[in-house]
Structure 1
Amino acid sequence: MVAKQKMLAVSGLLSGAVIWGLIWYPYRLLSEVGISGALSSLVTYLVAVALGVALFPAAFSRIRHAGYLALLIGLSAGWTNLAYVLAVIQGEVMRVLLLFYLSPFWTVIFAHLLLREKPGAAGYGVIAMSLGGAVVMLWRPEFGLPLPQNQAEWLALSAGLMFALSNVLARKAHNLDIQVKSLSIWIGVGLLSLLPILWAPSMAQPLAALAWNGWLWLLFIGVAIFGVTLAVQFGISHTPANQAIVIFLFELVVAAISSYFLAGESMSLQEWLGGAMIVAASLFSGKLEQQHDGN
């Protein structure tokens, strides 16, 4: 039974890595026919919310009494997913993902602030390696400081920051079950995606002219998000953190292959070197979890 549970947990994390390494493509296809990232996020996450409410009515009832942590998880994870979608539509997929995977740097900080976990020498090593990788990847002498150079890269950076915050909050909210956390995420993305459309209602007009295959893409993405969120939440709950991080990094492999063949994107040697440092920091951050578990 334990072996089967572990296999299911690893499969859940792998499915998350594969889906999120590929999901940029249908979102880009929708963007090309006039469906903005905010609008496609709104529709796809409404599909996930509808499925969640239909299949887990008790969880929907519980979420209203879950307290401020469920709200914060929803908003932080909501921005993570929305910003990620906007970033992969606008920017280079691999640069977006590598900036997103600065999350171990933010995790060390949030864990110290919210969970009172002291970084120690290993924690400061993760911070140094993450920042060093970002500097190497982003450094352009002609642009001055090694900062993100466009909106997509800033969105990717913020998505990684909010991803770290949502994970630390999820660890803090150990009393919330997987269904409540998942519903919080779907509702959070839906609410944040709705704001720009309320500000500019004309953004929703392209839906009226969307072909049937576009609606099928939206439905497919929504169902995929529903399933993969539950699978990842299960995987995180039943897999050691260091192993989970290694599995999540498979997303980079999937994204590198898919962006090369589907979008013709490639990275320079400098970007690969900086990315390798960020990946190394992600792998090493798993040892921090192991240390905390052993304390």
Structure 2
Amino acid sequence: MMPATGRPLTPVLLTFCSAILWGLWWITIRWIESMGLSGAQAGIVCNLGAALAIGGYMLATRMQLRLSARTLLGAVLVGLAFACYSLSLTLSDVVRAILLFYLAPAWSKIIEWVFLGQCWQGTSTVTLILSLGGAYLVLGGDVSLAAITLGDALALISGVAWAIGAALIFSGQKSTTSALTLATVVSAMLLSLAFAWGTGEALPTMASAPAFGTSLAVGAIYLLPVLGITMWSAQRLPPGLLSFLFTLEIVAGVVSGALLLDEPFGLYRMSGGVLIIGAALIEAIAALRPTAISEAKR
């Protein structure tokens, strides 16, 4: 438990770095897709590579896998969030998927109020209005079910799963980062497998050896360190503050997507992004209050 009066700068700086790398994750997914693997197949193999690497490290160091039920559930939900987010990057516009994911501050407020019994405050109303208003603009002013694609739905699910998972990890029993990361990548791999099976996609095979090998390497070299930092920070920073720090991903992802993919990024999306970032900023300011930090850890 961190003291209510202060917070080491290390998790904040590391979270900023990982946020930039998460914002560029779409490039890796699209690159693997161009080599012949679908979004679900890339998710399966990348998470397999990360699982093999962290699992091998834990075996070599004889590290035990100890997770409380609450923390394990949080890791599984973060794995769901990551799997859905990666899939959404191939099924929707990159800019759209990233911005819809960042409705997480709104979902966290609703979850805290309905399920955790926390008081609904004025800042909660502002956060909810800004987040939902931002989503309305990102969707181009059309919120009909016909306008929401599968990729959009997965991005929305990802944000909800992240909000719940981060809250459970922060409030749960302290665990090793390695154990948390292993649980997260294994759950993400299994969920990607389930998606591939449910949509009738073929499972990845060694027939596409270059793409298979590249995906394994990406999982071990790129995904594992970034996800490890995320899990480490999730145990040390309140969910609201963590979500705000990760809004740097919006900048990295939206700018790179607009530049490299020539995706549309007009006034509607820009305004929606500003509202969503504003909601996350309000959430972070509220989370930085010493009383909020101490109450969150009870």
Alignment TM class, shorter chain as reference: 0.7 to 0.9
Q: Is the 8 A contact 1:123 1:288 kept in 2?
A: no
Name the residue aligned to 2:49: 47
* Aligned residues with identical type, % of pairs: 22
Match of 2:65, SS?
Answer: helix
CA distance in 2, matches of 1:59, 1:130: 44
Q: Is the 8 A contact 1:84 1:159 kept in 2?
A: yes
Q: CA deviation at 1:117?
A: 2.1
Flag the 1:96–1:197 CA change in 2: closer, same or farther, 3 A. closer
| Residue identity opposite 1:251 in structure 2 | E
Flag the 1:148–1:179 CA change in 2: closer, same or farther, 3 A. farther
Structure 1 stretch displaced more, 240-249 or 14-23: 240-249
Deviations 1:90-139 (Å, cap 9, x if unpaired)? 21111111110000011112223443322311112211111122123324
Q: CA deviation at 1:71?
A: 3.8
Q: Is the 8 A contact 2:39 2:90 kept in 1?
A: yes
Q: Is the 8 A contact 2:98 2:254 kept in 1?
A: no
Q: Is the 8 A contact 1:16 1:231 kept in 2?
A: yes
CA distance in 1, matches of 2:218, 2:180: 22
Deviations 1:39-59 (Å, cap 9, x if unpaired)? 111111111111222212478
The number of residues matched between the two structures is: 286
Name the residue aligned to 2:253: 255
Name the residue aligned to 2:174: 175
Q: CA deviation at 1:24?
A: 0.7
Residue 62 (str. 1) matches residue 65 (str. 2): yes
Name the residue aligned to 2:293: 293
Flag the 1:128–1:197 CA change in 2: closer, same or farther, 3 A. closer
Flag the 1:165–1:294 CA change in 2: closer, same or farther, 3 A. closer
Residue 16 (str. 1) matches residue 18 (str. 2): yes
Match of 1:69, SS?
Answer: helix
Of 259, 262, 265, the match for 2:263: 265
Q: Is the 8 A contact 2:166 2:239 kept in 1?
A: no
Q: Is the 8 A contact 1:105 1:127 kept in 2?
A: yes
CA distance in 2, matches of 1:54, 1:184: 14
Match of 1:116, SS?
Answer: coil
CA RMSD of aligned residues (A): 2.7
Residue 135 (str. 1) matches residue 136 (str. 2): yes
Flag the 1:41–1:144 CA change in 2: closer, same or farther, 3 A. closer
Deviations 1:155-175 (Å, cap 9, x if unpaired)? 111111111011111122133
Of 26, 29, 43, the match for 2:28: 26
Match of 1:12, SS?
Answer: helix
| Residue identity opposite 1:49 in structure 2 | A
Name the residue aligned to 1:192: 191
Name the residue aligned to 1:232: 230
CA distance in 1, matches of 2:47, 2:62: 17
Flag the 1:200–1:208 CA change in 2: closer, same or farther, 3 A. farther
Question: For structure 2, which runs of at least 5 residues remain unmatched after alignment?
Answer: 1-6
Q: Is the 8 A contact 1:48 1:222 kept in 2?
A: yes
Q: Is the 8 A contact 2:68 2:173 kept in 1?
A: no
CA distance in 1, matches of 2:187, 2:258: 32
TM-score calculated relative to the size of structure 1: 0.85
| Residue identity opposite 1:194 in structure 2 | L
Name the residue aligned to 1:90: 91
